[in-house]
Structure 1
Amino acid sequence: MIFVGGIIGLEPNGKTLVTGGIKEEAEAAFRHVITMLERAGGKRSDIAKCVVLLSDINYFPEMNKVFTSYFPTSPPTRSTIVVPAIPMNAAIEVECTAIL
């Protein structure tokens, strides 16, 4: 099993959030999840579960579009939870569990 957690939408430098809003943050976060999974020897289809934290429920539709673009068929189970704050004032945080 591979656990990837605490992923927010950071720039490639790993120090600052991407700009643009929830769509851009979600794309960066899911891209980082997939990159980390692949570096550990897994692939996107190995992901069994994702937990998505959002700082605002109104972000759900845009996050869901991004999620669906990463998992167009047979998506992993997902829980989405609204929280009062995410580190660095991010809009989204993602954790995923993959089974190899």
Structure 2
Amino acid sequence: MAKDEAQAAKRVTELRDQIRLHDRRYYEEAAPTITDRDYDRLYKELVDLETQFPKLASPDSPTQRVGGKPLQAFAQIQHRVPMLSLDNTYSE
């Protein structure tokens, strides 16, 4: 773990770059180069640093994104049976 904010800032930049690279390889190219476990470790380290050093958090961080671009290879389909369980994903 980084000891001071300058070290943390450098590591945060490295982690964001690595995570974006692995996101692209996984989501856009369907060709991951690290295991899910290794990815989760990188992501957790970034979350921990952004929590420990709130000034380093930013809206463009991978920790602030929701989803990604779907692969062009995935075609949209119509479900023959409605996926009603999706209605249960939100509570009031």
Task: Name the structure with the higher helix share.
Answer: 2
TM over 0.5: no
Larger Cα-atom Rg: 2
Please identify which structure carries the higher strand content: 1
Greater relative CO (CA pairs within 8 A, separation 6+): 1
